[in-house]
Structure 1
Amino acid sequence: MDRGMQRNSFYWLLFIGAAIIEVYFLSITLQYPMIGMNAVQTEDNRFFVAEVNEGHWGDMHNVEVGSEILRINGRPADEHLPLTKLSKIEKVSQMTLLTPDGESHFYTPYRAQVTYQIIYHILLPLSFFLCCFGLSLYMYRRKHHLRATEILVLFLLVMAIAYQAAPASSRGDFLSRIVNGTALMMTPLLYLQFCRVYFRSFPMKWLSSGMLSMLYGAIIAATGMEIASYYYTFLSEYTARIQLAIFLIFTVLIGIFLLKNYLQMKHTAFHTILKTLLMGYCLGFAPFLLLFLVPLLLLGEPIVPAELTVAFLLFLPASFFYLMVSERLIDVDYVFHRLKYYSLIAILPAVLGNSIFLFFESDLDLRSKSLLFVIFYGTITLFLFLKDFLDYRLQLKSFSEKYNYQSSLYRFSQKVKQVKKVKDLTLLLQYEFEDVLHVRETAVFVMDRESFISCEEKPHLKPMLAASGKLWKNVAHSPGDVLPCVDGYALVIGMKKNMYTLLWISPKTDRTGFTPDEKDWMRTLCYYTSILLENLYLIENLIGQLDQMIDTDRIHPSWLSKMLFTISERERSRLAKDLHDTILQEQLFLYRKLDTLRNELYKESKSQLDDSVIKKEMNTLKEHVLDSVHLIRETCNELRPPFLAEIGIGQALEHLIQRVQLSANFRIEYHLDDRPTDLDDEAAITIFRMIQELLNNAMKHSNATVVQLDVDISPSQTILIRYNDDGIGMEVNSMKNYYKHMGIYSIQERVHSLGGETTFTSTPGEGLQVEIVLPYLSHRIRHEQDVVDI
């Protein structure tokens, strides 16, 4: 194999290895949320929570500082490596803590990702890796014969791996820590190597090969120290800072070389290329250095989290990709001078804005003040930088076509996206009419079917509107109608029950009438507004109901519970039907084919050969298919009780109890009311689901030996369900924790949706007693209620 093929094989193996490493780091990040807690070890080998970092899992779950760590992942705390080696509580799937007040808490943070971590620990690193990986593949396939391309591919992959390894490293994975630190320190040196190869034909000065080897030696030493910290834990306090310091020194050193070469080549034809690299380098590394690394090393606390600043590293591959594939470069001097000019202009308004804000919020710490200034300064600079482009676009759309009615409708539709209140919508509509039609005055008023006028906005118009209202009396109106007034016109913009909402507009300032195009525009705008008003009224009504519900200390209204469970049952029914009509039928068909084939083979074996192995395998396949059919049928039965409407609630419950009795470790004593009923389908499925949940809860948690169940259905009065077991019981107050007792919560909500009551009685060791009282709902009563609701 020649040298070229060996290099080609090496880089393809590098791509595969990078993908494998990425999958490993991503799996660590997905599997374990970042707990964000540090621990301290006492002399008697006990571990206590020493710090809970803000915004991570521990903070979200209110873990108390000072809590003792008893067990992690089912083992004693002193056997958990991230805890003993790094004093970090990470890579946790199960954890038992003892709070300072003596309460024991069991946590299961396995795969319980926090939204913040999903964005900054999963989505951003994965997107960055895919971007770098894609750029590497594209450039290597296009220009793999160039040495600069090979180094650039290596740089992009190492940088992407360093980014993806950071979240896994923060979770206490030791391999990720080694890879993250090593890759981070290698990033600036690989950047330097790329520049050396890319500009080797130009008279530029870079680091010598000997100096470069020394820098790589420093990386090897720091990595060796990181590995040694696994065995000598006191080193872990220094390794991270040493690696960050090395990265800072390398980055600043290479930045100095870039700037020096740029100044040397400033008046040559290559200054644009160097300036592009310099801008990409500064935009990529400066936020990480100035907002995270330097404050961390000097102050002990960063201004901006690393997850945000590292995202700017994308400017590095972007600048490289641009140089490698672009045949015509943009005017970097223009962009650079504009950026420098607007950066200077933005200083004063940023200082003023920051000072005004701090005048009202003077209790912020230094980190928050610095972050606030960065936000002000960056926002103003970005806005000024895009000013020319924005001015051109805004003038083109908003001013040069101001009197184009189609453009006005588009502009109005864009503005109403931000409207949340009826008042804001009407004000926006008035402004649009005054701006486009040049009318003197507008006003919004309300009129009922008896022509009673209410105009709180401008009371002086009420006499004129009242006189005009007599002209419209007893006439039905619809949105968009233009009604003549004593002075001007009124347009219907909304209807709510017996009330009309109208917009009054005065005549034009030049006293000319409205053209047909203007009237069409007015009707269209008013009709569009009426739709928005209707939606806003519905939203306000819903918010009012929710506010009323909150004021009365209710979790949510019964109609909402009923709607949610109805949707759930419909989805269960659809899924059960799909399983029955597709997979189950395929399994039955396969079973029949196997049975036919088995019989044919059996006949042939009697006449020709004795192939016992084939018959045995066919019998085994047949049994597996039967098991699969049984499993699918049981799943369908769980999703939707079979023949509930046909056989009635009594027989359906009896079948359920018999099925549970086959797999349960307790005896079920039950009494079911078998009187014929006209029970509503929704009530029947609710009763079935509640009893199913009670029995499932008994199998999973109760450790009971006897379960007693009594269902009494009285068509003239109520439905009474009594449940009693002799299991381990529970604290009734703990049932307020919905996430630990979702079955109990589901029962409560189902009963609430039908207007019933639930009573739970239990103490630890005394079993559980449940009494449910439901109103009797027949098909006739349900129909009457639906008519009343309508």
Structure 2
Amino acid sequence: MLGNTKRLLAFICIAFIFSITIYFNYLNIKTVYVGLSLSEVNGHYEVTNLVPSGAAYYAGVKLGDRVLAVDNEIGKISEVLADNGRLEQVNQIEIERNGGKKIIAFQHSNELMGQLFSFVLMPIIFFMFTIVSLLLVGIRAFTHNRFFYPVLFLAILSLSMVSGMLSSKQFILSQYVITISMLFLPYLYFKIAYIKIKTHSDSTTFRRYNWVYTLLTIVLVGINLYSEENEHVGLIFGSSFLFLITCLIGTFIHGLFLKKTRPYITTLFVSLLLAVGPFTFLTLLPELVNSNWSLEAEVAILFIIIIPLIVVYLLATDTFFIKYFSLYRSFYFFLLSIIPSLLSVGIFLVFVNAREYEFMLVHLFYVYILLGLLTFFSKDILDRKLRIRIPSVRSYYHESLTKFSELLKQEKEKDHIMKILKNEATAVLGLKQAEIRTYSKFHKNVFDPVKGKVSWFIVEDGNKKYVLHGNLRKLKWLNAHQRDWLFIVSSYISMKFENLRQMDEVIEELKVLEGNQEENKWVSALFFKWSERERLHLALDIHDTVLQDLILHARQIEVYRNQLKPDHEEAFQLKIQQIEENARDLILITRETLEEIQPLDSMTKTLKQRLQEFVDMKIVRSDFHIHFSYLINEELTSDLQTNIFRISQELINNGIKHSNGSKITLNIEKQVDYLLIQYNDDGIGMKKRISKENNQNLGMFGIQKRVLASQGECLFHNKDGMGLDVQIYLPLHLIDS
């Protein structure tokens, strides 16, 4: 949720961008793209380049023509001529060719239909997507980040599109606007994914990505604005844009490893590759390398329409609830749009000479496809928004059920589940004054059918029953599909309530079994398995956050030390060196800690190797002499290996911390029908009874619980002042045969 101040700022931001976009579209419609370049030769201006899609080309201007006047003013040429020799924003020119003079006017005509499609209609289509998205989410665009950023992204994309068209017409302001907007687009696209990731996981790494990406975008925008007058401004802008896109792709690849948000990231990632790929590899890179693109920018830019299509439709499907449905529906709409597009181009080829209008044909085909997609999307969105449904159409109810099941997975509170049902029933069935009422299970006649009203029994929970009530908007009775929808939703909720009830029973049973030693063994074994899973998650988090930060700081200290001048004080240099050594020690300790907490299943080393490395590390880190032997050749089950490793770890750690001795012996061997773990030290022994209330012996209590959970036996022989002997027996039936 956004605060009041942020809502006002969000509204001002969207309104400001909309105002600029509308004004730029007005200028774009009003102005014809001339596509003419001049060079000064012997005090006169001659035509040196003509763009095939420009108005000058279709008006009959030829290379070598001498331009005498612009808009009936002889001295105006130098005023309107851009630094790169481009002549734009003019209505007519006077030329001289072979001794004769001629006035040529530039205005919209049938010959410029191709230009009308690419320069005028395309920006308007992009702007229409922004309007559709804003109408779709309504006031939520200014109250929730997950709606604000998609709308802002589409608004900036629309602004960048029309700014690009005006920039080619040499409007100075638009050149600055397109620089800012294009460089902010990758950042906003990242924010769409980041907001979704943040709602499903507390990823420290992506929070850092957010800050770094924000700072990086601001810095690159500043550099490009400062370099606007530089002759290499195109190279600087192209490199900056490619760098931001590369960073965006890198973060998306990382996001694919987050299980909960993988479908959302996949959708955005694939859309990004399909949209930006042609423009990047066929237009931008060739332009930067050899100043000659492989695919015209006007054609390559058409692929970018994929992104607003996906963003709008993801909003239309309630933001990412049905990824595959969205993609399949998009493909279906695309196929439907191709049919009228091919027919239109075919009719054009029959009645018009195609050779003169090749450029226009390409854009005509693409524009028809885009208009078709936009039409189908708009219809689908309006159907969803206005809830006007034909009873025979079932797809909408299927979509709603998919969404409802996804929401149901995330909820554990019954009141929240009923709130979700109320909202979805209001949206799907078009109910007025919908509410969920609770009655005693002995209450009768709470859902008798009444004309124009809905009273539907949902579920019975204990002594209560839940009933949905509401008024129908237009229908007198629920139709068959609506009743089927309510029946399926009620079944979902019934199963959810049953699962919650069984979970409560299991929890209560666990509480009862807590005091029963025999029955508690399997519970303890289950908890120990869960703890191994949590150890793995903890190890991954430490590796991805703490360890990486320590390594980064150590490298920064090393760089700083290398930059110190020789004349710095020796004490200061020694202090820096000491800090660097401490950082390296912390990195080493962190790595050792990771080795300790990682489960055996996540390592490629054998149990004996892991134990030997652990013992060697403890010898280095303590003053103890530790003798370790492992005399088992058989292959053990993973559970048994885990128990042996954790028991051995705790025995040695406990001895080092509390025994006050200097020698530890740990032997692991196979007997006839059991495994034996023998431990002894020369410390002070245990002076208190082993219990979970005794902090000093808490480690030994954990060992005892783990051994009992493994159906084993644990014996402690305590000799005050002479050390501690421990024998642990684990049954051999746990060994793989």
TM over 0.5: no
The structure, 1 or 2, with the larger RCO (C-alpha pairs under 8 Å, 6+ apart) is 2
TM-score with structure 2 length normalisation? 0.41
TM-score with structure 1 length normalisation? 0.38
